[in-house]
Structure 1
Amino acid sequence: MSITKPPTETVAIGTLDEPKQGFLQRLVRAQAFQILLVLLVIVLIFSALAPDTFAQWSNFRLIIQNASILAVLGVGMTYIIITAGIDLSIGSVLVFSGVVSAIVMRALGGEGWGTALVGILVAIACGIGWGLLNGFLIAKAKIPPLIVTLGSLGMALGLAQILTGGVDIREVPTVLTTTIGYGNILGTIPTISVIALVVVVLGAIVLHFTRFGLHTYAVGSSELAARRVGVKVDRHLIAVYTLSGGLAGFAGILSLSQFSTTAIAGQSQTNLNVIAAVVIGGTSLFGGVGTIFGTVVGLFIPAVLQNGFVITGVQPFWQQVAVGAVLITAVYIDQVRRTAAMRGSSQSLWRKFVSGGRRG
């Protein structure tokens, strides 16, 4: 006599009963799109208040140029925060890389591309070195990212000051300042902004269309689950922090080109500005969520606010207040969404469990 087993139902964890949303619905609900609308509203307000000064291409060009270096740093920071990490050292790594590069170029002498290319390679190599150190200590020594990068922040900045005696180096090859720092493409587009755009596009392609990007999201969503499906988590974390360090080194040579000096004291708030921009743009501090597009939008909010306040005669210190309020709001919205998603997933699983039990 055969025994008939009761029907069973396989429940996929994380599956929701709600119908799939269309592209427009998902676009409207995306935090990056909402932040873009906020940015457009801010631009329209300042354009109405100062149409003859703010709403001019020359002013928009200045805003774009000022945000270019932060955009390069923001690409690396986006990867790191998606993995649920943090990197407080990027500003100091930028300074250290610029200092070492400037010293090497000064020792070589010359104003041509030969010297400049050596300086570019040295800056990137310095950044990669700091990124490798951060990644190794985080992945292998299991030291929290906050502690590791806070320590490397102080070390990199301290070494930069030791190498220079606290005095900025102002000998920068002319080819860097004239071609990259103050150069233009098609007569109106800053060269440094075009370089930053290339970095942003490449960063977005790798994040959204390659296995490396998929593993980045997987590590941030659940490190344990990522290990179980075969992702080499430690190696990937080292690679992500190395990427961020390399981009910080590259940003160091861009900073040298733009300001014609190492600007040791001018990067004290860079790391916090970049982190704020990434989070405002929709990248979750809890990991697993984020886009390069959102980061770029998040970068322009403080840049536009600062520029608009100066033009309209408002104290620029209000920019810090406004950005802080937007940052807190963005994190709060992220928490609300995560809580709602977890509650919806739990309710869906419970309904499936109950309905399956009744059928059984």
Structure 2
Amino acid sequence: MSIKLPPTETVTIGTLEPKVGFARRTLRTQAFQILLVLLAIVTIFSFLAPDTFAQWSNFRLIIQNASILAVLGVGMAYVIITAGIDLSIGSVLVFSGVISAIVMREMGGQGWGVAAVGVLVAVGSGLAWGLLNGFLIAKAKIPPLIVTLGSLGMALGLAQIITGGVDIREVPAVLTQSIGYGNVFGTVPTISVIALVVVVIGAIVLAFTKFGLYTLAVGSSEVAARRVGVKVDRQLIKIYAMSGALAGLAGILSLSQFSTTAIAGQSQTNLNVIAAVVIGGTSLFGGVGTIIGTVVGLFIPAVLQNGFVINGVQPFWQQVAVGAVLIIAVYVDQLRRSAALRGNTQSLWRRLLGPGNSS
């Protein structure tokens, strides 16, 4: 984008920021800084409990516990990059798991045929909620906070009405044995491999495709995105639909891992995922974010909870620690954005006024 100056001079905004080397740029990223914090936490707990915490079996448990949140985090990262929010993912996870469990129970059987139908039903249920959220946000112009807060209540309420508030525990054995408790190469949890595939695809799409570029553009400036031809409404609907579909996938993964719908067990899921995404460097103001940073952010609460339990510290301190890190992360993001804005403004005026006239 260029600013036309009379009579013929132009200033290209894209060249205002000074070029910075890859190493320095990496060191400045919030995701890298949070990775250093994560490594410091792991080091401290490993020193305090070397015989229990610093063991592969324990790290495997941490990875497995973070896997479902990682699937949700990919969708949430895309949503927050657009300067939106999705508070409904925990309830959509529960609703999708409930509908899937009922369908599989009515079909009967324990084989992959029934399980495959259950997976499709769960993802389809989540997709339907995501499309509803996206349509109301993009077309009806209702703020994302209100829409997803409403769908949070509706999805959870419908799940409780359908089940009478009683968890469904009839889950095909193939799901629990092959996915919930299954391993790849004998040591890596299957559920974590599935989450890794979702994370890798999400990272590639965000970094190297038009869909990812359009997502960042919408978050940076919706008005500017419309002016350059991005179909913003369609993009938002796709993003919220993706978030819903991934919540549905997380629902079937949760069903596989716990062998129950766990209706009352997801009350903090949406807040934990949002905190992880923001801690990982995705800006609540939109336009900035990475999937890798989201994954790093997810492991902060997972490691804290595990380390506190092993060292005999009340797990409630996890909420205090994560809350503090979240506030610090948002504050750092605000400082970074303010500094970038000041730098761009000063560079622009220097270019406009010319040498010797910057005062």
TM range (shorter): over 0.9
From the superposition, tell whether residues 189 and 15 of structure 1 become closer, same or farther in structure 2 (CA, over 3 Å). same
Q: Calculate the TM-score normalised by the size of structure 2.
A: 0.97
**Contact 1:33–1:294 at 8 Å: present in 2 too?**
yes
For 1:324 and 1:33, the matched residues in 2 are separated by 19
Point out the structure with max Rg over C-alpha.
Answer: 1
1:61 counterpart residue number:
60
What whole-Å deviation, never above 9, does each CA across 1:125-171 have from its counterpart, x for those lacking one? Answer: 00000000000000000000000000000000000000000000000
Q: Which residues of structure 1 form unaligned runs of 5+?
A: 1-5
How is 1:11-90 mapped onto 2 (pairs within 5 angstroms)? 11-13=11-13, 15-16=15-16, 18=18, 20-90=19-89
Partner SS for 1:51: coil
For 1:80 and 1:295, the matched residues in 2 are separated by 12
**Contact 1:8–1:356 at 8 Å: present in 2 too?**
no
1:3 counterpart residue number:
none
For 2:92 and 2:44, the matched residues in 1 are separated by 37
How is 1:141-152 mapped onto 2 (pairs within 5 angstroms)? 141-152=140-151
After the TM superposition, which parts of structure 1 deviate over 4 Å for at least 4 consecutive aligned residues?
A: 356-359
State the Cα distance separating 1:17 from its structure 2 match: 5.7
For 2:195 and 2:332, the matched residues in 1 are separated by 29
Amino acid in the other structure paired with 1:246: A
State the Cα distance separating 1:16 from its structure 2 match: 2.4
State the Cα distance separating 1:57 from its structure 2 match: 0.1
**2:324 corresponds to 1:325:** yes
What whole-Å deviation, never above 9, does each CA across 1:225-278 have from its counterpart, x for those lacking one? Answer: 000000000000000000000000000000000000000000000000000000
2:3 counterpart residue number:
none
Amino acid in the other structure paired with 1:231: V
2:166 counterpart residue number:
167
What whole-Å deviation, never above 9, does each CA across 1:291-313 have from its counterpart, x for those lacking one? Answer: 00000000000000000000011
State the Cα distance separating 1:212 from its structure 2 match: 0.3
Superposed CA RMSD in Å reads 1.3
For 1:8 and 1:143, the matched residues in 2 are separated by 43
Amino acid in the other structure paired with 1:199: V
For 1:207 and 1:343, the matched residues in 2 are separated by 27
For 2:143 and 2:17, the matched residues in 1 are separated by 38
Amino acid in the other structure paired with 1:27: T
What whole-Å deviation, never above 9, does each CA across 1:67-114 have from its counterpart, x for those lacking one? Answer: 000000000000000000000000000000000000000000000001
2:261 counterpart residue number:
262
How is 1:276-291 mapped onto 2 (pairs within 5 angstroms)? 276-291=275-290
Identity over aligned pairs, percent: 82
Total equivalences in the alignment:
353
For 2:210 and 2:354, the matched residues in 1 are separated by 37
Deviates more, 1:346-355 or 1:64-73: 346-355
Partner SS for 1:11: strand
For 1:263 and 1:160, the matched residues in 2 are separated by 11
For 1:10 and 1:209, the matched residues in 2 are separated by 30
Partner SS for 2:10: coil
State the Cα distance separating 1:14 from its structure 2 match: 5.1
For 1:304 and 1:297, the matched residues in 2 are separated by 11
Amino acid in the other structure paired with 1:244: S
**Contact 1:15–1:348 at 8 Å: present in 2 too?**
no
For 2:298 and 2:92, the matched residues in 1 are separated by 20
For 1:178 and 1:204, the matched residues in 2 are separated by 29
Q: Which residues of structure 2 form unaligned runs of 5+?
A: 1-5
Q: Calculate the TM-score normalised by the size of structure 1.
A: 0.96
Partner SS for 2:12: coil
For 1:163 and 1:251, the matched residues in 2 are separated by 20
2:176 counterpart residue number:
177
2:113 counterpart residue number:
114
